[in-house]
Structure 1
Amino acid sequence: MDQANGANPPPYNFQDHGQNNHTGMSYQVVHPAAQTSAQTVDFSLPPDYSSGLDDIGFSDSNIRRGFIKKVYFTLMLQLLVTVGIICAFLYWSELRVWTWHNKWFSYTMMAAVMVLVLALSCCDNLRRQVPLNFIALGLFTVAEGLMLGSVAAYFDAEAVLWAMLATTLVSLALSLFAFQSKWDFTMLNGSLWVLMWTLISFCLLCAILRSQYVYIVYACLGTLVFSLYLVFDTQLIVGGKHRKYEMSPEEYVFAALNLYVDIVSLFLLLLQLIGLCR
């Protein structure tokens, strides 16, 4: 009987093709749409990618080390500029006397610092786009140095130098502790935020009571809070397997800003503590 859709395929002839066992590594695959065209598919083993994975991990370590170098090199430049400005206010007598008679200068620099901090913290493009990020960070460093210099002008030069020395020792000790310690301080973000608001409330209490002993307690509490923040920010920069959170390598300007603000806050609190105890 004839089929309606076409003829049956011809029977397979062993004499035409032979009867051999297959020992090769490739197969003849016939495309279903056209029986006349064929393609050969190779079922060989896939290439080895183990060395590539090792290279990726090594590359990540290099990126993190380069990020740390950028952050601390930028921080070192910021601190050198700040120390130079403070020394100018301490040892340039005309500038120091001018600062005493123009208190508006300190408040103006404080407002400029707040505006630049908010701009660098809230605008991602500003702190990531070169050279705008370095320009903004440089302006912030100069404004912060002028504000610190105008504040340091009201203290004795010896007290300011002692505060600088104490800040250097405390910052180095805390940084080494943050690098070596396996305690993860990056999980304490919420607790540190609560401590910061407690410190702000205590500052308002100091403004109302105006007691020397309350000022001393405030300076001690503030030193503790910003010491914890310095360890927290350092571990965010360093990262590693013992840290739950770490900072992106693209945020080296923001990372340097965080460390700089922590160190400057420690300096101001230690300066106030030394001035009150003298």
Structure 2
Amino acid sequence: MSYNQQPYNPAYQNPYPNQGPPPPGFNTGDGQNQNQGGAYFSPPPPMHGAMFNQMENGQHGGGDNPDGKYSFQFSDKTVRAAFVRKVFSLVFIMLCIVAAVTVIPWVHDDTMRMVRRNSALYLGSYVIFFVTYLSLVCCEGVRRKFPVNLIVTGIFTLATSVMTMVISAHHDANVVLLALAICIGCTFSIVIVASQTKFDLTAHMGYILIISMCFMFFGLVVVICSMFFKIKFLMMVYALGGALIMMLYLFLDVQMLMGGKKYEISPEEYIFASVQIFIDIVQMFWFLLSLFGSRN
């Protein structure tokens, strides 16, 4: 028997155009089905639920677009970068205000004498500091509602500045400069390491909680002992522990600010992030003053 051979069709096209379109569900050989009109149905696009979950956990998948352009990853990185710049700018402004207020007694002798004799100034500023801090940290409506959030943050910054001024005025100038230099060096080092390292401190919240509780109870013992005995070595140990704890908190808060870790701060919480990093740096300075200082 003889028959006409059909030419080889590498594209798996229909070699019999006169026989009509293939039946529904016919497989063309490349994994795609045809409908009755001969048009191809492309496969459904992949769901982005996994990527959304990774973004919530602070992790970003690379996929076929490692640069992240024109993707949700690119949008998330852009928002996070703007959030980081906003927070660090606000922290820098707050620290500049603290520095400006703190230096006043050192350039005006009458103010220095008034600050050293008036303990009510410290107590009043501490009450304002405590109330405004709790309002910013615990009340979401206060820290997110504009312009209330900026007003409360400004009052909080001024109260912290007055407290720092009073504490610094009771120490020698060389001790204040030494504590300031160490605080600046530690702050820059911690920010650089926390933003570059792959170690995730946010995944060890339990250990940080245990350390914080132990330090709190140790502080209570120091306060009780200081009422009856004046043990300078115990106060130095407490100040050293407090400075190290504040460095640990600063490392943790910077990693939560940068994102990409197990826990991260929402870009909407720029006031909360600024307050936390600001108070970590200021309290580190306070503890360093107590560690190196000789009171006047």
TM-score by shorter chain over 0.5? yes
State the match for 2:56 in structure 1.
none
Q: Which among 169, 180, 192 is matched to residue 208 of structure 2?
A: 192
1:232 partnered with 2:252? yes
Runs of 4+ in 1 over 4 A off after TM superposition: 23-28, 46-54
User: Which residue number in structure 2 is paired with residue 255 of structure 1?
Assistant: 273
Structure 1 residue 218 displacement after superposition: 0.7
Between stretches 96-105 and 59-68, larger displacement belongs to 96-105
CA offsets per residue over residues 109-164 of structure 1, 9 Å max, x none? 11111101110011112111222211111111011001110111111122112111
Residue among 64, 67, 71 paired with 2:87: 71
Equivalent residues of 2:171, 2:294 under 8 A apart: no
One of 108, 131, 134 as aligned partner of 1:92: 108
Between the aligned partners of 1:257 and 1:109, the Cα distance in structure 2 is 17
Q: Indicate how the Cα distance of structure 1 residues 210 and 188 shifts in structure 2: closer, same or farther if over 3 A, else same.
A: farther
CA RMSD of aligned residues (A): 2.6
- Taking the aligned partners of 2:80 and 2:149, their CA distance within structure 1 comes to 20
Asked if the contact 1:71/1:253 (under 8 Å) is kept, the reply is yes
TM-score (norm 1): 0.80
Equivalent position of 1:101 in the other structure: 117
Instruction: Please say if residues 89 and 152 of structure 1, whose CA atoms lie closer than 8 Å, have aligned partners that are also in contact.
Output: no
Aligned twin of 2:15: none
- Which 5+ residue runs of structure 2 have no aligned equivalent? 1-17, 24-33, 47-63
Max Rg structure:
1
TM-score (norm 2): 0.76
Cross-structure match for 1:58: 74
Q: Distance in 2 between matches of 1:168 and 1:96?
A: 24
Partner residue in 2 for 1:14: none
Shift of 1:26: 6.3
1:194 match: secondary structure: helix
Note closer, same or farther for the CA distance 1:276–1:217 as it changes in structure 2 (3 Å cut): farther
Counterpart amino acid of residue 104 in structure 1: A
| Gap change, CA 1:266 and 1:47, over 3 Å in 2 | same
Q: 2:286 aligns with which of 264, 268, 271?
A: 268
Letter of the 2:235 counterpart: Y
- Identify if the C-alpha distance between structure 1 residues 276 and 101 changes in structure 2 by more than 3 Å, giving closer, same or farther: closer
Aligned length in residues: 246
Correspondence list, 1:1-278, <5 A: 21-22=20-21, 44-45=41-42, 54-207=70-223, 208=225, 209-240=229-260, 243-276=261-294
Deviation at 1:46, TM superposition (A): 6.7
- Change in Cα spacing, 1:276 to 1:216, as seen in structure 2 (3 Å) is farther
**1:172-215 CA distance string (max 9 Å, x none):** 11111101111111122222222222222222222214200001
* Larger CA deviation: 250-259 vs 151-160: 151-160
Q: Which structure: greater helix fraction?
A: 1
Amino acid at match of 1:133: N
Separation (CA, whole Å) in 1 of partners of 2:281 and 2:202: 18
Task: Return closer, same or farther for 1:53/1:179 CA change in 2, 3 Å cut-off.
Answer: closer
Structure 1: runs of 5+ lacking an equivalent: 1-18, 29-41
Counterpart CA distance in 2 for 1:166 and 1:90 is: 20
SS in 2 for 1:250: coil
1:213-251 Cα shifts (integer Å, max 9, x gaps): 0011111111111111110111000112xx211110001
State the partner residue of 2:59.
none
Residues 236-272 of structure 1: CA deviation (Å, up to 9, x unaligned) = 00112xx211110001110011101110111001111
Instruction: Pick closer, same or farther for the CA change 1:277–1:140 going to 2, 3 Å.
Output: closer
What secondary structure does 2:71 align onto? Answer: helix
Counting aligned pairs with the same residue, the percent is 29
* Distance in 2 between residues matched to 1:225 and 1:113, nearest whole Å: 20
Q: Which sits farther off after the overlay, 166-175 or 44-53?
A: 44-53
